[in-house]
Amino acid sequence: MKQIPNIISTKDLSYLEDMFNWHFTICKKAYMYSEEVEDEIISSFCTKVFKKHQKICEKILNILGGNE
């Protein structure tokens, strides 16, 4: 991965915010569906989707926090 600059432009920050919101929305929905669905296979799939997008959200937060 390329090194993240010390200063993030307004445009980059806006894009990161949009990306975070997209993935966070998917996280919330996948988690909700995994809890509500009775079919074990679908529930398992939703849990995997939730975990994948949760990791992406954490990476974005790390970039914004300077921990990446």
Domain total of the chain: 1
Is 4 part of a structural domain of the chain?
A: no
> Looking at the domain assignment, is residue 2 inside a domain?
no
Quote the CA–CA distance of 50 and 28 in Å, as a whole number: 7
Model confidence, pTM: 0.80
Distance, CA of 30 to CA of 47 (rounded, Å):
7
Domain span holding position 28: 11-65
- Confidence class for position 66, pLDDT limits 50, 70, 90: low
In a domain, 30, yes or no: yes
Residue 3 lies in a domain: no
Asked if pLDDT for residue 68 goes beyond 60, the answer is no
Structure tokens at 26: 């998917």
Q: Using pLDDT thresholds of 50, 70 and 90, give the confidence band for residue 53.
A: very high
pLDDT class of 63 with cuts at 50, 70, 90:
confident
Arithmetic mean of pLDDT, 17-42: 96
Residue 50, in any domain of the structure: yes
- Would you say residue 46 lies in a domain? yes
Question: Does residue 55 lie in a domain region?
Answer: yes
Q: 36 in a domain, yes or no? A: yes
- pLDDT the model gives residue 28: 97
